């Protein structure tokens, strides 16, 4: 029990000495607070920016391969190495089609353009075009109605599946089931029936509505910003889905981009097909008949390479700010050592060793660092959440702050590490002070 009392008294003394000098305590806390706040805010913003940028790719469904045949007409048969492989033919009109136009003010119009995808099947996955023109596939989350059936394909029905954004833009009240969309209507609502038959608007009945993809949500935010800030006419782009046969028949004269979409139920089948497709692509590329293979992993790797430089620069700035703050912490600690030479001399006179003296200053800095870091982390989280609200509601940007345990633990460890490192040299200096130095100081 006596040992426990001594232990408690010893640490109580260290904590008391850490807070006895209010000026030193405040200055040291501010130094650590600023460093941890900047590091924590920078990490949260950097990771959130990275995650937000990756969502364009992360929305792509797993175990999916998109093949661009690039004119290889026999490629589909060559890739059909097994009866279990299900290939979805996708034929997207090369030019975006106007499907709706409405006046939103004096000489201002909102025109909705669409990527028109003709698909041989629309069940588990569907193709979309991202804002940078890249084809990817996402899961088809049906909200209401139905998806395209085999009967629609066989009978070449003029039906269309749209997403929730398209429904809200075109149909008042947000209910488009059973209503019609005119593909190829003129700008500003003018029907171009006087033009050639290839350009006559074609009516498609809406049979189903699917959930918005991330790309559609981004387009929705950009549209809100343009409506509020722009004084010009506005154009937004969506994706719609029709039976492949109806697109080929009704838009026979228009250029189309053909793709093959392969979706697998398990990772083993996906890996086997991907290996075969990539090998075949390499072989054909040597004869000038190569084709492209698009996967989620490939797109993620490309995007990570694009973001790596930005992430590295932001991390370097955070480290530089921590170093600058650390120099100020070291200076304050040296000042504290000079101020407390008499205390050090008294402790040494009562038998304190060099390790005891060094540990005292290190422990004091750890106590200060823990409280200052926790306060800085809390404020940085609040600041980043306010920034998220500002970007979404004021600037209409898609930005989401996801707070993970790592975003709390990492800055806390950085604050403690910086405090320990910056007080090592002053602590060693304090440990070398002799009792005679204390008397001379007096």
Per-residue pLDDT tens digits for 12-59: 666 666 666 666 778 788 888 888 898 888 888 888 888 888 888 888
- Strands, E, within 31-122: which ranges? 64-68, 87-93, 97-105, 108-119
Distances, alpha carbon 20 to alpha carbons 24, 336, 340, 350, 416, in Å: 9, 11, 11, 21, 20
User: Other CB atoms closer than 10 Å to residue 237's CB: what's the count?
Assistant: 17
- Output the pLDDT for position 148: 94
Helix H or strand E segment including 190? none
- Output the pLDDT for position 192: 36
Strands 202-210 and 159-163 turn out to be: parallel
Residue 145 structure tokens: 């109605």
Half-sphere exposure of 214 (CA within 13 A, CB side): 21
- Output the pLDDT for position 440: 59
The b-or-e profile of 46-56 (16+ CB within 10 A means b, else e) is bbbbbebbeeb
User: Other CB atoms closer than 10 Å to residue 383's CB: what's the count?
Assistant: 16
Domains of the chain, by residue range, sit at 2-57+306-441, 86-263
- Output the pLDDT for position 85: 81
What are residue 191's phi and psi, to 5 degrees? -80, 130
What are residue 332's phi and psi, to 5 degrees? -65, -40
Residues 154, 155, 159: CA angle, nearest 5 degrees: 105
Nearest CA to 245 out of 159, 180, 177, 125 is that of 159
Q: What is the DSSP letter of 185?
A: P
Within 90-148, where are the H helices?
none
Could you say which residues of the chain have pLDDT below 50? 1, 189-198
Residues 6+ apart with CB under 8 A from 310: 49
Residues 6+ apart with CB under 8 A from 413: none
- Output the pLDDT for position 329: 80
pLDDT digits (tens, 9 = 90+) for 327-342: 878 887 787 777 777 7
Q: What is the DSSP letter of 195?
A: S
Q: CB-based burial of residue 112 (10 Å sphere; 0-12 exposed, 13-18 middle, 19+ buried)? A: buried
Residues 6+ apart with CB under 8 A from 97: 113, 114, 116, 183, 184
Residues 367 and 348: their CA atoms lie apart, in Å, by 23
Is the CB of residue 91 less than 8 Å from the CB of residue 68?
no
Do you know the residue count of the chain? 442
Residues 111 and 100: their CA atoms lie apart, in Å, by 6
User: What is the overall mean pLDDT for the chain?
Assistant: 84
Residue 138: strand, helix, or coil: strand
Query: CA torsion 359→419→386→401, rounded to 10°?
Result: -90
């Amino acid at each position: 029990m006596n040992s426990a009392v001594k232990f408690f008294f010893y640490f109580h003394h260290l904590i008391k000495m850490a807070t006895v000098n209010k000026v030193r305590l405040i200055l040291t806390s501010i130094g650590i607070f600023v460093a941890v706040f900047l590091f924590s805010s920078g990490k949260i913003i950097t990771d959130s920016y990275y995650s937000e940028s990756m969502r364009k790719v992360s929305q792509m469904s797993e175990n999916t391969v998109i093949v661009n045949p690039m004119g290889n007409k026999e490629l589909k048969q060559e890739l059909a190495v097994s009866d279990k492989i299900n290939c979805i033919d996708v034929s997207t009109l090369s030019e975006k089609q106007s499907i709706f136009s409405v006046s939103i003010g004096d000489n201002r119009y909102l025109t909705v353009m669409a990527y028109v995808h003709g698909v041989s099947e629309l069940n588990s996955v569907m193709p979309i075009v991202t804002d940078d023109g890249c084809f990817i596939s996402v899961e088809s989350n049906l909200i209401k109605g139905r998806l395209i059936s085999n009967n629609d394909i066989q009978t070449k029905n003029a039906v269309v599946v749209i997403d929730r954004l398209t429904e809200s833009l075109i149909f008042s009240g947000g209910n488009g089931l059973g209503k019609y969309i005119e593909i190829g209507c003129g700008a500003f609502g003018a029907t171009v029936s006087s033009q050639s038959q290839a350009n006559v608007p074609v009516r498609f009945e809406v049979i189903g509505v699917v959930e918005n993809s991330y790309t559609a949500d981004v387009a929705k935010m950009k549209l809100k910003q343009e409506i509020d800030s722009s004084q010009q006419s506005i154009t937004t782009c969506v994706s719609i889905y029709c039976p492949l046969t109806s697109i080929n028949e009704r838009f026979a004269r228009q250029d189309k981009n053909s793709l093959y979409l392969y979706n697998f139920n398990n990772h083993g089948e996906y890996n086997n097909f991907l290996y075969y497709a990539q090998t075949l692509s390499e072989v054909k590329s040597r004869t000038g008949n190569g084709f492209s293979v698009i996967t989620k992993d490939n797109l993620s790797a490309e995007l990570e390479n694009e973001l790596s430089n930005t992430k590295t620069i932001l991390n370097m700035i955070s480290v530089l700010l921590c170093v600058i703050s650390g120099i100020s912490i070291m200076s304050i600690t040296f000042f504290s050592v000079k101020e407390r030479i008499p205390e050090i001399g008294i402790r040494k006179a009562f038998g304190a060793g060099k390790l005891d003296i060094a540990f005292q200053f290190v422990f004091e800095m750890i106590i200060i660092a823990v409280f200052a870091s926790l306060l800085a982390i809390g404020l940085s989280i609040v600041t980043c959440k306010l920034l998220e609200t500002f970007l979404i509601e004021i600037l209409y940007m898609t930005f989401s702050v996801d707070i993970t345990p790592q975003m709390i633990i990492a800055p806390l460890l950085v604050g403690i590490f910086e405090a320990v490192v910056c007080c090592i040299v002053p602590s060693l200096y304090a440990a070398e002070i002799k009792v005679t130095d204390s008397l001379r100081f007096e």
